[in-house]
Amino acid sequence: MTLIKSISGIRGTIGGPQGDNLTPVDAVLYASAYGTWVQQQRNKESHKVVVGRDARISGEMVQQLVMNTLVGMGIHVVDLGLSTTPTVEMAVTMEHADGGIILTASHNPKQWNALKLLNSKGEFLNAEAGQEILDIAESGAMTFAEVDNLGKITRNDAYIDLHIDEILALDLVNVPVIKKANFKVAVDAVNSTGGIAVPLLLEALDVEPVKLYCEPTGHFPHNPEPLKEHLGDLMELVVKQHADFGIVVDPDVDRLAFVDEKGEMFGEEYTLVAVADYILRKNPGTTVSNMSSSRALRDVTETHGGTYTASAVGEVNVVQQMKDTNAVIGGEGNGGIIYPELHYGRDSLVGIALFLSFLAEEKIAVSELRKRYTSYFMSKKKIELTPQLDVDAILKEMESRYANEQINTLDGVKIDFAENWVHLRKSNTEPIIRIYTEAKSQEEADALADRFIGELKEIAG
């Protein structure tokens, strides 16, 4: 069982000893540390925080603990109840709130939960802010409100609808053309809040949803990470129902993957590629993904005369790079779409609407669309090292070995070869180097990863 305290939030398994797992005591500790941080950001009479959760079984318990901790600090809470990560992000700005907390462990199994923390822009905290909250929790320097100054909880169930309204109002979401296309789409929402939000969006676009695992019970029917090996039921349903394609989202609806009309995976890495292709046709410009995402985004960006840049891994880093380069679209290869015309956060709902617009305008089958993009294959492996080894020195030696190649050291060491690439990253929590590779065949990608594992072992001695 696990409790992971990091600058990006507090994540752990429910139950067990306090401090080793995400227990009620830990939920209160880190919620109060976050509340203290929020109060330090703006010196004013009262503060407001938006709180929402995915459907996992522990969610209601953790949410009550978190909300009432904030109330005890004199902070007012807007309770969204069952919601999605992007909806909570948008609600923070719509409410002019001082921050937000999303209770979700994303693609982790049902025994996990987490406090994901947002700033007043509805964006994930940067490393500095995250560290400040960890320091506050460590110091125990939290002060609570006297009885006359307690916060209040206000329930608001409208925000998923408001989120959808904002999506439908976007210039590049072609509502009339989508409505004329008479799409039929299968939806696997892994029995979480996507089962509420995705069908509502589709129905607003006159798209017929065929629901699979759309009851928000929190009992995930399969591993909730939207990968091919977990999606056999959706693949079968698409073919059986003669659907135009299938949609799968993770429990908090910030990762998006598609299944084509033949029941084959479109490819999680290609969600962003296809949406970017659509955006760049209308609005050429810069794109961003993280360094471990597919080269296919660079390819499609350059096809449209744009510039692609890579950020360090992590949504907060992608967002900062997008702001720095004024990117028109960006995200992560795990199916995360960030469309700044709506907000700076991964958002499956806007990804679905833009993808539907592209299909409807092109009048093209999903399998045919996929053929437009170069096929790349990835390998993701790791090498465990002894704690005594200097991982930074090992990566520095690897950088020296390949000094004549295109090197990026923003986040570990990424080496771009003509036909493939390798990205070496150290873990922040254990003596591990992660090896990501991409090539034009699975065999080549695996062989490249194995080659670098061998070289790392050789350097490590």
pLDDT at 334: 87
Q: How far apart are CA 153 and CA 74, in angstroms?
A: 11
What is the pairing mode between strands 421-426 and 432-439? antiparallel
Q: How far apart are CA 318 and CA 338, in angstroms?
A: 9
| Superfamily per CATH, domain 3-157 | Alpha-D-Glucose-1,6-Bisphosphate, subunit A, domain 3 (3.40.120.10)
Q: What is the overall mean pLDDT for the chain?
A: 95
Interhelix angle 24-41/127-139, nearest 10 degrees: 120
Q: How far apart are CA 35 and CA 73, in angstroms?
A: 7
pLDDT at 76: 98
What is the pairing mode between strands 256-259 and 245-249? antiparallel
**The domain over range 162-370 is classified in CATH as 3.40.120.10:** yes
Q: Which residues pair with 79 in a beta bridge?
A: 51, 155
364 has pLDDT over 70: yes
pLDDT at 429: 63
What is the amino acid identity at position 297? Answer: L
373 has pLDDT over 90: yes
Q: Do domains 3-157 and 162-370 have the same CATH topology?
A: yes
Q: How confident is the model at residue 247 (pLDDT cuts 50, 70, 90)?
A: very high
* Cα-based distances in Å from 132 to 7, 35, 140, 413: 9, 12, 12, 28
What's 200-228 look like in SS3? HHHHHCCCEEEEECCCCCCCCCCCCCCCH
Q: What is the mean pLDDT of residues 344-372?
A: 98
Q: How far apart are CA 316 and CA 116, in angstroms?
A: 12
Give the pLDDT confidence of 117-137 residue by residue, as tens digits: 999 999 999 999 999 999 999
What are the domain boundaries of the chain? 3-157, 162-370, 377-460
Least confident of 167-181, 300-314, 388-402: 388-402
Residue 192, helix vs strand vs coil? coil
As annotated, the active-site residues are 106
1 has pLDDT over 60: no
| Superfamily per CATH, domain 377-460 | Alpha-D-phosphohexomutase, C-terminal domain (3.30.310.50)
Which tokens sit at 323? 């702001």
Q: How confident is the model at residue 445 (pLDDT cuts 50, 70, 90)?
A: very high
Burial class (CB in 10 A: 0-12, 13-18, 19+), 292: buried
Q: How confident is the model at residue 172 (pLDDT cuts 50, 70, 90)?
A: very high
Secondary-structure percent of the chain, ordered helix, strand, coil, rounded to 5 = 40, 25, 35
54 has pLDDT over 70: yes
